[in-house]
Structure 1
Amino acid sequence: MINKQELVSVIIPAYNLESYIERSLRSVLEQTYENIEIIVVNDGSKDSTAEVAEKILKNAGKIYKIINQKNQGASVARNTGLTAAQGKYIKFLDGDDTLFPWTVEELVGAIEENKCDIAFGGQNVVNLKGKILYRYDEMYEYTQGVYESKEILKKFLLQTMHISLNSSIFLKEIIDKNFIKFTPGTRYSEDNEFISKYLYYSGSGYVFNKAVANALYRIKSTTKIPSLSVFHNVGAMLRLKRFFEERREREIAKIIESECIPAAYTWTIGNLAFNGYPLFDWLRIARMDKVRRNVISYKIHNKNTKFGKQQNFLISLFRFSPFLVYVLLRSYSYILKILHR
């Protein structure tokens, strides 16, 4: 049995999540680990997110804070939560995602029993009914146990090991000592940037070979055109490359240049197609020399997984016909919407 005296701060950024935040909060309140404070950062919601959170938490018997701020994005909301957090451990959770009842206890236990600086596992993608749409083990393959942080960082950057904020737990001391923050204004890959910097400053981590969190797949409006802000993925990788170059970590910087930046372009182009960016505008972007060069140079290292095989097929098809890639991704998006209404 692990020592339950150390406080865990669970930070939940929330924007217009009145229909979802109860699920997330209930999953935190049901944790077998008892010593938890819950920090909800209401990021300028226009609905009753804050009121729903207050109603659930006020009689729950947990330390909690609901912080209201003007809308500045998830990065600033998480930074606000970090400033307010009093726990030894930091656990992030998006306001529409959930944990298993044992998640915090097992993550903290792994850190304390193995004297690590981070513990994490996989993450499934589920619909509102709880049905698993994507299993983590269909996307990644690795062995459970203790790894040196630099090895984890390399595997993470090469996308052969999955780490998300939802499925990880961190030491606040390392975050504070090294001034690790989320980049304000960044809407995509701010989590990867934060995690990579944390791994750089940590010594070792414990990896669970199972899902420890569930991310909710939400059907987006078909009338809303996706934003080019998804290219923030690329910006985050460029900042990380500079971060490691400044610290003379040339091997890591090289991995980011040759692996992560092409991956960021590939994910961005795929995201735009999947979410319905206008076809001819999408084709114009996809055929830009820098974009095309990065997409076709993207190396897939987990080719044996179901997800890796799908990626490999789409990259091969992109070389032949970007148009067909767009059609396939849009068709898949429509099928998901029909199946999960």
Structure 2
Amino acid sequence: MNTKISVIIPIYNVGSYIKKTIESLAVQSFKDFEVIVINDGSTDNCNIICEEELIKYNLTYTIINKKNQGVSNARNQGISLAKGKYLYFLDGDDYIEKQCLEKFYNYAEKEGTYIVFCGYTHLSADNNYSVISKVHKYIDSILEGKDAAARMLRNEFWISAISGFYLRSFIIEEALKFPTDIKFGEDTVFIIKALTRAESVGCVKEPLVNYVRRGTSVTKTPSTAYYNLHDSDVKILEYNKEVCKDKNIKNALLNYHIPRNIIRIFSTMAKGGADKKELYEFIMREDVRNFLKGFNPKSKKFKVASLMILRFPKIAYKVFNIYGRMGKKQ
């Protein structure tokens, strides 16, 4: 007999965190679920630790060990192996609240929604799981999928990789997969595509999941993979142009989401002391500049940041870098 929920966990060198992840599953108030672990070529012993914990708590599980091909490939393999009515994606360093699966399942069954999301909390693994930020934005009623996608792109709410709950038959029928050709923002591409094809989207108005940030020290230089965030945004824009063709989604992308993310990329990289040449090359790209030129935000903060980055990128770098260094001293 098929299980109700398939929990898909890609793991890669999470030996210090996986116990807490599995423990959070073991204490779930809802018990009818399977755990599918995809070990993406870990070089530590996290797969061994993970299996020991799964056995210890007598959880139904499958572990697949494969060469490293990235988190998207691992999640896609998990989808292909899943047998549950619903899919839930959890990362190997994150954990969920005790009633997470129960509340997701009960809501989806009662309302018949294709996608359900909840709030989530960012925690720092470097500081005894202290709270970094809370993403507790919700919707007041069930939405049609394209409307939900446009609202998410305007940041009225946000669905992360671990805060969404999906009807498996919907994911399979729509042939939805995580993109394997980008290294940052791949979950957003998957989620937006899923939203645009869903008949209905609802939410549980509680923070049921905890997203744990590793290496969150402000002294750490951000990875150049962060530039891929823009590539994921462009991929969503192209998808909307070619497939979805929704004006509200287009407006949300061009007038809000993409230019704000460009500013976010620039400020984050500059604050972290990223290579100036690479950052200037990014901001001088024709498509990047065109997105910023068409940006007319209501917020003075974003308007000033946009103009500074466009006209005086070297000064903008210095300003953001000073802010970053001030943060390190606090």
Query: Which TM bucket (shorter chain)?
Result: 0.7 to 0.9
Match of 2:273 among 276, 285, 290: 276
The share of aligned pairs that are identical, in percent, is 27
8 Å CA contact 2:255–2:297 kept in 1: the answer is no
- Measured in 1, the distance between the counterparts of 2:270 and 2:257 equals 20
Q: In the alignment, which residue of structure 2 is the partner of 1:237? A: 233
Mapped pair 1:160 → 2:156: yes
Aligned residue for 2:210?
Answer: 214
1:1-341 → structure 2 map (5 Å cutoff): 6-128=3-125, 129-137=128-136, 140=137, 142-219=138-215, 226-247=222-243, 249-251=245-247, 252-279=249-276, 281-283=278-280, 285-286=282-283, 290-292=287-289, 294-295=291-292, 318=309, 321-322=315-316, 323-332=318-327, 334=328
Q: Is the 8 A contact 2:29 2:102 kept in 1?
A: yes
Q: Is the 8 A contact 1:147 1:207 kept in 2?
A: no
| Alignment partners' CA distance in 2, 1:285 and 1:150 | 31
Q: 2 CA distance for matches of 1:205 and 1:199?
A: 7
SS of the aligned residue for 1:160 comes to coil
Q: Deviations over 1:122-172 (max 9, x none)?
A: 1111123232121224xx4x4444222222111111122111121110011
Are the counterparts in 2 of residues 317 and 324 from structure 1 also a CA contact under 8 Å? no
- How much does 1:254 deviate? 4.2
- Aligned amino acid, residue 133 of structure 1: I
| Kept in 1: contact 2:36–2:62 (CA 8 A) | yes
- Check whether the contact 1:145–1:208 (CA below 8 A) recurs between aligned residues: no
Q: Distance in 2 between matches of 1:158 and 1:231?
A: 20
Partner amino acid, structure 1, of 2:319: L
Find the residue that maps to 2:265 and give its secondary structure: helix
- Give distance in 2, aligned partners of 1:311 and 1:95: 35
**Residues 271 and 136 (structure 1 numbering): CA distance in 2 closer, same or farther, change over 3 Å?**
same
Question: Once the 2 structures are TM-superposed, how far is the Cα of residue 295 of structure 1 from its aligned partner?
Answer: 4.6
Please report how far the alpha carbon of residue 224 of structure 1 lies from its aligned counterpart in structure 2 after TM superposition: 7.1
SS at 2:113 equivalent: coil
**Aligned-partner residue type, residue 183 of structure 2:** R
Task: Report how many residues are paired.
Answer: 322
What is the CA distance between 1:288 and its match in structure 2?
5.5
Q: Distance in 2 between matches of 1:310 and 1:262?
A: 13
Closer/same/farther in 2, CA of residues 34 and 133 from structure 1, 3 Å limit: same
1:272 to partner: Cα distance: 2.0
Paired amino acid for 1:60? Y
Deviation at 1:275, TM superposition (A): 3.6
Q: Is the 8 A contact 1:157 1:256 kept in 2?
A: yes
Call closer, same or farther: CA 1:299–1:58 in 2, change over 3 Å: farther
Aligned partners of 2:122 and 2:133 also within 8 Å: yes
The CA RMSD measured in Å over matched residues stands at 2.8
Moved more, 164-173 or 231-240: 231-240
Check 1:262–1:40 CA distance in 2 against 1; reply closer, same or farther (3 A cut): same
C-alpha separation between the residues in 1 aligned to 2:48 and 2:99? 27
Deviation at 1:327, TM superposition (A): 2.2
For 1:205 and 1:82, the matched residues in 2 are separated by 20
Q: Which ranges of structure 2 fall in alignment gaps of 5 or more residues?
A: none
Shift of 1:95: 1.0
CA distance in 2, matches of 1:59, 1:292: 54
After superposition, the C-alpha distances for 1:103-140 in whole angstroms (9 at most, x for unaligned) are: 11111111111111111111111123232121224xx4
Partners of 2:213 and 2:297 in 1: how far apart? 24
CA distance in 1: counterparts of 2:225 and 2:238, whole angstroms = 21
Q: Which stretch shifts more, 104-113 or 227-236? A: 227-236
Q: Measure the CA separation in 2 of the matches of 1:119 and 1:213.
A: 13
8 Å contact from structure 2 (residues 260, 302) kept in 1: no
SS at match of 1:90: strand
- Match in the other structure for 1:306: none
Shifted more, 229-238 versus 60-69: the winner is 229-238
